[in-house]
Each structure stands twice: as structure tokens, then as C-alpha cells.
Amino acid sequence: MIGVYDSGIGGLSVWKELNALMPERDYVYVADSAHCPYGEKSSDYIIERADRIVRFMLSRGVKAVVVACNTATAAAISYLRRSFDIPFVGMEPAVKPAALASRSGVVGVLATANTFRGTLYRDTVMKYASDVRIVEKVGRGLVEAVERGDVPYGLIREYVDGMKEEGADVIVLGCTHFPFLEKQIAAAAGPSVRIINPAPAVAAQTRRVVDGIRDTSSGLRIREFYSTGDMQVLRRTAMSIDPTLKDCDFHQINI
Ligand code: DGL
């Protein structure tokens, strides 16, 4: 059983890839929607939430956890790896494939303020993207819009235009909520700009990690979805990814 969590529904963009790659596994998903967004909260706050969520998922029987949130990965993954004796897979800021794909030598990254502040992002840029110019855009307002089920066309255009004006020909979706806006981001960017969603690479990495663990899946394809906040948007989005999900797969939790 694999645990997957995010500040809200964004991590479903990663679960979608996990479920497609490893449909035989059991999954527990936690959307921390009551505490969303994480983007500008303190590290201590995000670590405290991570601790509670992982303890809850362990009580459900997970054997590995995917931190399907760039912001939580930046703030809390070192703490989680130190504190719990299971493997954790985090989100990688996909600047390496972006740097390789760019012909203009300019890469746009759309993420939260906390992701840009994290040492993981800084180190990755230094290691893999030192020969391209990175245009960083904080996608303020986008996470909240996805949580509400809105498409904020005006904001998308503003952020994408800002990156294109600087010459970016690749845009990295540095937040797991943003693949839900990928079509609109791609439309605003136009056909000459490539959009990179790191979720498939994270799913592939998760498979490598869980392949090393004895398979204790139930064979029943258990899918449990929990939200600390609004259930409707979680249910609607998860069901749009997997229509075989049932109402009884969704639960409210107070942790
Ligand atoms: N999905 C989260 C991420 O990848 C959103 C962060 C937030 O809640 O602000 O960073």
C-alpha cells in the first residue's frame, strides 16, 4: 500500500500516473485541504502537518509514501526520512530535463514561493541547470483556484507571458496542482513552448522504490481518499481520473 499526500488535490496529478503505472497497488491519498495552501506557510507548520499525515497513513498500513507536493517536499522530506523507517519519494523540480530540452537557453519555472526558497530547488538548479537562465514565477493564486475548481485564465496568461517575454521555450510545472491547468498553460504559451510535468518521472521513481519492498498489496485494489477539508472537489477530481471509484472510497478526517 502506497501513501500519497498533498496540501490538497494537486497530488492527484501524481496519483494519476502512479495508478496508471501500478494499478495493482493499494493507495491511500490524503488531501490536506483544510490547511491549503502550503505555499507561503512556515517550514515548521508544513513539517507538523507532514508528521500528522504520515502517522495517519501508517495507521492505514502504507509501506511507502509519495510526498506529491513540491512545497512539502522542500520543507519536510528530510525530516520525514529522519523520523520514519519507510521510504519517501518526493517531487523533483524538473529543471534537469528542462535544461536539456531548451534550445533558447531560457527555462521558465512556475512554483510556490516556498519551493523556490528550498535548498532542494537551489541545489538542483546549481547542479543541472547552471548553463541555462531560469525565469522563476511564483504562481500566486493558482493553487487556490484549482482547489475551487476554477480556471484563472488571467493569472495564467500573466505568468506565462512573463516567462515568454524573457525567452523561455520550456516551462516546468513546479507544483502538483498545475497539471490541472496544463491545457490552459499550453494554450497561453503556444506551440513553440514545451511544458514539463514531473509527475510521470516521479511515478517511475516510485516504482523503482516500491519494487524493492515485499508486495503486500491486498489484490483488492484498495483506494482510500481522505480530506481534512472540502470533500466535493477531491471526489470530483479523483473520479474524473478513475471513474471506477465509489462514494464510499472518500472520507473526511480531522488530523
Ligand atoms: N501542490 C503543492 C505543490 O506542489 C501546492 C502547494 C501549496 O499548497 O501552496 O507545491
Task: Give 189-243 pLDDT, tens digit per residue.
Answer: 999 999 999 999 999 999 999 998 877 777 788 999 999 999 999 999 999 999 9
What is the torsional sign of CA 108, 11, 76, 32? positive
Percent of the chain with pLDDT over 70: 100
As annotated, the active-site residues are 69, 175
Query: What is the pLDDT at residue 213?
Result: 81
CB 121, CB 107: distance < 8 Å: no
Provide the pLDDT confidence category of residue 40 given band limits of 50, 70 and 90. confident
- In this prediction the pTM is 0.96
> Beta-carbon neighbour count of residue 77 at 10 Å?
21
Q: Which atom of ligand 1 is nearest to the CA of 6?
A: 1
Q: Which three cell numbers stand for residue 35?
A: 490547511
- Cα(73) to centroid of ligand 1, in Å? 10
- The Cα 210–Cα 129 span in angstroms is 29
Task: Find the residues whose C-beta lies inside 6 A of ligand 1.
Answer: 6-7, 10, 36-39, 69-71, 112, 115, 143, 175-177
Query: What is the pLDDT at residue 214?
Result: 77
CB 75, CB 48: distance < 8 Å: no
- The Cα 139–Cα 1 span in angstroms is 33
The residues that bridge with 66 in the sheet, in sequence order, are 4, 89
pLDDT exceeds 90 at position 60:
yes
Burial zone of 97 (CB within 10 Å; 0-12 exposed, 13-18 middle, 19+ buried): middle
User: Could you report the per-residue pLDDT of 135-167, keeping only the tens digit for each?
Assistant: 999 999 999 999 999 999 999 999 999 999 999
- The Cα 76–Cα 27 span in angstroms is 21
Percent of the chain with pLDDT over 90: 94
> Beta-carbon neighbour count of residue 25 at 10 Å?
21
Q: Which atom of ligand 1 is nearest to the CA of 7?
A: 8
Query: What is the pLDDT at residue 212?
Result: 81
- Once rounded to an integer, what is the mean pLDDT over residues 6-16? 98
The residues that bridge with 226 in the sheet, in sequence order, are 30, 251
CA dist 109 → 62, 112, 235 (Å): 32, 10, 29
- Cα(20) to centroid of ligand 1, in Å? 22
Burial zone of 226 (CB within 10 Å; 0-12 exposed, 13-18 middle, 19+ buried): buried
Q: Which atom of ligand 1 is nearest to the CA of 41?
A: 9
